[in-house]
Amino acid sequence: MGEIVIHNISKSFNEKCVLEEVNLKIEEGEIFGLLGPSGAGKTTLIKILTGQLKPDRGEGTIFGKSCSRLDREDYKMIGMVLDNSGLYDRLSCYDNMLLMARIYGVDKNRIGELLKRVGLEDAAKKAVDKLSKGMRQRLVLARAMLHRPKLLFLDEPTSGLDPAVTQTIHRLLQELKQEGTTIFLTTHNMDEAYRLCDHAALLNDGRIVEYGVPEELCRKYNTQNIITILCKDKSMVELKNTKDNAGRIMEYFQEECVESIHSSEPNLETVFMELTGRRLI
């Protein structure tokens, strides 16, 4: 039900190519990450998939239906957290949720349950313009969850948030995945993508340059293949991770002088840099 298929999607604005022959398949019930710097085309792709824009070429399908033909019943199964939150600043958290509950025909008793779930139970009567950025973002997420969507689009959901709020949102997304929600996440936070995503695609200048399981992508581009040993005397030893050095590594452990040991797998940031020659931010 929550599967997304993207076939040869291309899009240009004023002769500037924003997306070029993008092909992807996002499985039902997974967290998928579309990773890339600002201006890479991430938000444009979400707008195409949600029917807000039409591609110049190609097609996207959601729920087995073309994204250009989504109707009211389809949108009832979709939740969105985009850069423009659409919250009403003068209304309280509760009233913002109540307005959305009436639009979707959701039992208002669910509002309190969700505000508690995102840690805003005590702020239910507080006006939105009095909330911190992290509280606003949690409210937007609660609102997107209100109608129990089968598919949730998140565009940079933790950008600019402190680590504690980010961790709260990550926990909520994992819970939603366990409940069967398909999550399409855009981010340039590589640690976030590594922790959350079942699969990730790296987008650069409108093209997919790599796709796969984050951990496997990092291993694939481990060109250094080095073991670094920090000894208890604070000295550091670097050895190529080969069978010829296995005996030397074992000796350090036998002599009980190892404080820590690390392998050289890159993170997604360095994978992106190796593929494109540019940073993600």
Is 154 in contact with 185 (CB distance < 8 Å)? yes
Element (H, E) at 80: strand 78-81
Domain boundaries, the chain: 4-77+149-218, 89-143, 223-264
* Span 10-28, pLDDT tens digits: 999 988 999 999 999 999 9
* Span 43-55, pLDDT tens digits: 999 999 999 999 9
Is 245 in contact with 227 (CB distance < 8 Å)? yes
Q: Would you place residue 223 in the very low, low, confident or very high pLDDT band (cuts 50, 70, 90)?
A: confident
Question: Which residues contact residue 31 at a Cβ distance below 8 angstroms, ignoring those fewer than 6 apart?
Answer: 173, 177, 183, 185, 196, 197, 198
Nearest to 271 by CA among 201, 206, 195, 205: 201
* Span 86-136, pLDDT tens digits: 899 999 999 999 999 998 889 999 999 999 988 899 999 999 999 998 899
- Give the neighbor-by-neighbor strand order of the sheet with 65-66: 16-26, 4-13, 57-62, 65-66
Q: Would you place residue 246 in the very low, low, confident or very high pLDDT band (cuts 50, 70, 90)?
A: confident
How big is the chain, counted in residues?
281
The Cβ of residue 145 has, within 10 Å, a number of other Cβ atoms equal to 22
Q: Fold for domain 4-77+149-218?
A: Rossmann fold (3.40.50)
Q: How many CA atoms lie within 13 A of 112 on its CB side?
A: 2
